[in-house]
Chains A and B, each alone.
Chain A
Amino acid sequence: MTRTSRSTSKNDQKSQEATNPHSPVVEFGADKPLHLDSGVSLSPFRIAYQAYGELNADKSNAILICHALTGDQHVANLHPVTGKPGWWETLVGPGKPVDTDRYFVICSNVLGGCLGSTGPASINPETGKAYALDLPVITIADMVRAQAMLVSHFGIEQLFAVIGGSMGGMQVLEWASSHSDKVFAAVAIATGARHSSQNIAFHEVGRQAVMADPEWKEGRYLEHGTVPRKGLSVARMAAHITYLSETALHRKFGRNLQDRQNVTFGFDADFQIESYLRYQGMSFVERFDPNSYLYMTRAMDYFDLAAEHEGRLADAFAGSKTRFCIVSFTSDWLFPTSESRTVAHALNAAGASVSFVEIESDRGHDAFLLDEPEMFSAINGFIRSAARAKGLLPS
């Protein structure tokens, strides 16, 4: 098969990042198996990460950033495949609220991801081929267990802060619940303690789109040299709508037509919004592994922190000494404020220290990735106050 087109070479780059990434990698061998929620042990496995700033002498200034569903470890550097800036450079960097001049910032590719950590595109040592669907199903708690092993690898006993939005926020809550003594401060943004039925429904649409693509080949597309482009692209298009708000969509696109004066009475992308979604879908395919998308969405679907504690969310945080900051956005309908408020109330009931801000924004779920000055000032105030309490800043 000849591989000449631009997208195919991007695809090579994508596969390259999955198996042999630009990022540093920590390999956990047979002596350090990962016990997964599914009951299976995973070994060996690898975690790829990016780190910024300097770890101080007593290893007390580390901040872990947890990425979202389709994010990765490239939080504050150019992306090796897309060449775009880091996905959270608004928040993380020198002089930013998560100040890399002051803190040692780690962001790892989650377990099951496709940017160098063990995931479905990684080679299964038993077969010499990609895992595909032979990789056990990964949960949010599994991702956090792997991150905890990475953090221990650095010799860090307690993270100063764990910060993340959306699926990253789920990891933050899981960290604070199951490793509470290792988390001094937790910032959970645009997230919830469980995935709602509606959210599971959207994910199922996405997965079915991927699996309905004949190029998916029962998940063995890497061996067949195919890519389920259409399926993953449609999945991304549907999901992307859930990340925006109706107001934001209408403001950006309205009913504007794409490079034409009139509708064509056909099924081309007449409207700008159609063209935009198609572009979002296709560019996603160039950087993301379709099977990894199945695993990531499943991990979010399975997340239900209260269920792990007999339905009492407050018990998930019982006795917690962690300081929490919960942030939601008024127009986020994927993780509406009510989900964050539930978490805040549970933390109250557990007697935990909690700040909860709802940010006025009409940009929907994706607002957490955008320039939202009020969010920055809240997070900045929270982090500085926590840093004073931990002795990282003069009080």
Chain B
Amino acid sequence: MSVNVHPRVDFDVIASLVEPGSRVLDVGCGDGELLELLQTTKGVDGRGVELSQKGVNDSVARGLSVIQGDADSDLKYYPDAGFDYVILSQTLQATRNPKNVLTELLRIGEKAIVSFPNFGHWRVRASLAINGRMPVTKDLPYSWYDTPNIHFCTINDFVDMTKEVGAHVESAVALNAFGGRLGFNMPWGFWNLFGQQAVFLLKR
């Protein structure tokens, strides 16, 4: 279900937010790269859900506990507060009902970590403003008609949604095009313009 290209600069940021030895559910875990990273470096008890069969099979062959499932329909099978962290990396924009998914993440996990591409980034804005076409960039390589990313949002949009679902933003990181962290004290509007991706740590 994860749609971004390699290298995944958000993985290191996500890993830095996870406490060692915690219980982690990675929703949209792809081929299990992040889960494996978290198991090796943080000793987490990790589980995964992945939509694509190939991703699931690759993950299981790596020895990870991963099941085939859909973030939109299958999170309801997980018990309340079963995990310390539920991670949704680069997957939110591909869900049918992002708000519902976010609510579910916060039900299942004590904390949720969400990373997503920022549609407010100046390149995206420029692409639309100057070319008058839906942006296709190195990190968002799909055309409008074949993209799995049906629900893009900007950092500002996401912050609004966290308020709507009553989530508390514990910390947030914006990354520039080179994977570098943007200045911590900048206002959301600055991040929204210069952050290419964002990683949010949310709490109920």
Contact in complex: A355, B62 (CB < 8 Å): no
Of B53-61, B117-125, B131-139, the one contacting chain A is B53-61
Question: CB of B64 within 8 A of chain A?
Answer: yes
B68 engages A357 (CB within 8 Å): yes
Decide if B67 is an interface residue (CB 8 Å cutoff). yes
The stretch that binds A, out of B73-81, B95-103, B184-192, B194-202, is: B73-81
Determine whether the beta carbon of B60 is less than 8 Å from that of A382.
yes
Among A308-367, those with CB < 8 Å from B are 323, 325-326, 341, 344-345, 348-351, 353-360
Option from A349, A360, A377 in Cβ contact (under 8 Å) with B53: A360
Residue B105 CB within 8 A of the other chain: no
List which B10-62 residues lie within 8 A (CB) of chain A: 45, 47, 53, 56-57, 59-62
A residues in contact with B69, CB < 8 Å: 344, 356
Q: What is the CB-to-nearest-CB distance from A302 to chain B, in angstroms, rounded to a whole number?
A: 27
B7 at interface by CB-CB < 8 Å: no
Establish whether residues A378 and B60, one from each chain, have CB atoms under 8 Å apart when the complex forms: yes
B180 interface residue, CB < 8 Å from A? no
Do A381 and B61 contact each other (CB < 8 Å), given the known contacts A349-B77, A349-B79, A360-B53? yes
A381 with B67: CB separation less than 8 A: no
Interface presence of A283 (CB below 8 A): no
Residue of A348, A350, A355, A388 near B60 (CB, 8 A) is: A355
With CB as the reference atom, state the residue of chain A lying closest to B23: A351
- Interface of B, secondary structure class, is mixed
Chain A: CB-nearest residue to B53: A358
State which of A341, A354, A358 has its C-beta within 8 Å of the C-beta of B65: A354
Contact of A356 among B61, B62, B68 (CB under 8 A): B68
Residues of B close to A353: CB separation below 8 A: 45, 47, 65
Q: Indicate if A380 sits at the interface (CB-CB under 8 A).
A: yes
**Cα(A87)–Cα(B45), bound, Å:** 36
Could you tell me if B63 and A357 are in contact, using CB atoms closer than 8 angstroms? no
Contact (Cβ within 8 A) B57 A377: yes
List B contacts of A355 (CB < 8 A).
Answer: 56, 59-60, 64-67
- Indicate whether A384 reaches chain B with its CB closer than 8 angstroms: yes
Number of A-B contacts (CB under 8 A): 66
Residues on the A chain within 8 Å of B183, using CB: none
Interchain CA distance A323-B60 in the complex, whole Å: 12
A326: which B residues are within 8 A, CB to CB?
67
* Cβ 8 A contact of B67, one of A348, A351, A380, A382: A348
- B57 in contact with A388 (CB, 8 Å): no
> Could you tell me if A382 and B57 are in contact, using CB atoms closer than 8 angstroms?
no
A386–B60 CA distance with the chains assembled, in angstroms: 11
**Chain A residues in 8 Å Cβ range of B82:** 351
Chain B residue with the shortest CB-CB distance to A353: B65
Q: In the assembled complex, which residues on chain B have CB atoms less than 8 Å from the CB atom of A382? A: 60, 63
Known: A358-B53, A360-B53. A345 touches B77 (CB 8 A): yes
Cross-chain contact B63 with A381 (CB below 8 angstroms): yes
Within the assembled complex, what's the spacing in Å between the Cα atoms of A357 and B57? 6
B79 cross-chain contacts in A, Cβ below 8 A: 348-351
Q: A349-B78, A349-B79, A358-B68 are in contact. Are A385 and B57 (CB under 8 A)?
A: no
A306: min CB distance to chain B, Å: 14
Known: A353-B47, A355-B67, A357-B56. A348 touches B78 (CB 8 A): yes
Q: List 26 A-B contacts (CB under 8 A).
A: A323-B65, A341-B68, A348-B77, A348-B78, A348-B79, A351-B79, A351-B82, A353-B47, A354-B47, A354-B67, A355-B56, A355-B60, A355-B65, A356-B66, A356-B67, A356-B69, A358-B53, A359-B57, A377-B57, A380-B61, A381-B62, A382-B60, A382-B63, A385-B62, A385-B64, A386-B63
Give 11 new A-B contacts, CB below 8 A, not counting A325-B60, A356-B68, A357-B57.
Answer: A344-B67, A345-B77, A348-B79, A353-B47, A355-B59, A356-B66, A356-B69, A358-B53, A378-B60, A380-B61, A381-B61
